[in-house]
Amino acid sequence: MKKIVKLSLVCAILLSGISTYAIDGNGNGNDDFNLHVLKANGKIITFALNQVQKASLSIYDKNGSLIYSENASGKEGILRTFSLEEFPAGIYFLEVEDSVKKVRHEITITDDASVLSTKAVSSSYKADTTAKNASVAVR
C-alpha cells in the first residue's frame, strides 16, 4: 500500500512538472521564437533566435514607423548585434517574422542604455493560404 501511495505521489509531481513546462512554451521552439538576449553593453544589444533559420527582422518606433529592416538567416539560428547609439531615448519594437508567425519585443532606450525584452509583447500566427475557399459554420 505504501508503495502505491509513493508511486502515485511521484507520478503526480512528474505530471505537474511536465504541464508547467508545457505552459511556459519554451519546450521545443515551435510555440514561440526563443529570443535570448546574450549581451547588453550600453546601447549595443546582442540577441539570438534559436531554431529559426530564416526570418525578417524589423525595428519600429512607438508610432509604428519602420526604422530598420533586414532578412536574416542561419543554419541553427540567428545571431544579431544592433548598435542603437543613434536612436533617441524612447520605446521601440523589434518584430521577428517567419513563414508561420510574427512576434514583437519591446526595446527601451534611455540616455545611456538599451533593454530588449525577452518576453514578447504580441504574437500572431499567419493565416493558412491553402484554406481560402473553405467554409465555416457558425452555431
Identify the CATH number of the domain in which residue 52 sits. 2.60.40.3080
Structure confidence at residue 107 (pLDDT)? 92
Structure confidence at residue 22 (pLDDT)? 35
Structure confidence at residue 20 (pLDDT)? 36
Q: ∠ at Cα 41 (94, 54), nearest 5°?
A: 35
Q: Which domain holds residue 62?
A: 33-124
Decide if 80 is inside a domain.
yes
Look at residue 44 and tell me whether its pLDDT is greater than 50.
yes
Structure confidence at residue 37 (pLDDT)? 84
What share of the chain has pLDDT > 90, as a percent?
26
Look at residue 19 and tell me whether its pLDDT is greater than 50.
no
Decide if 113 is inside a domain.
yes
Decide if 98 is inside a domain.
yes
pTM of the model: 0.67
Q: How many domains does the chain have?
A: 1
Structure confidence at residue 122 (pLDDT)? 86
Strands ordered across the beta sheet of 34-41: 34-41, 44-50, 77-83
> Measured between alpha carbons, how far is 62 from 115 in angstroms, rounded to an integer?
15
> Per-residue pLDDT averaged across 64-77, rounded?
91
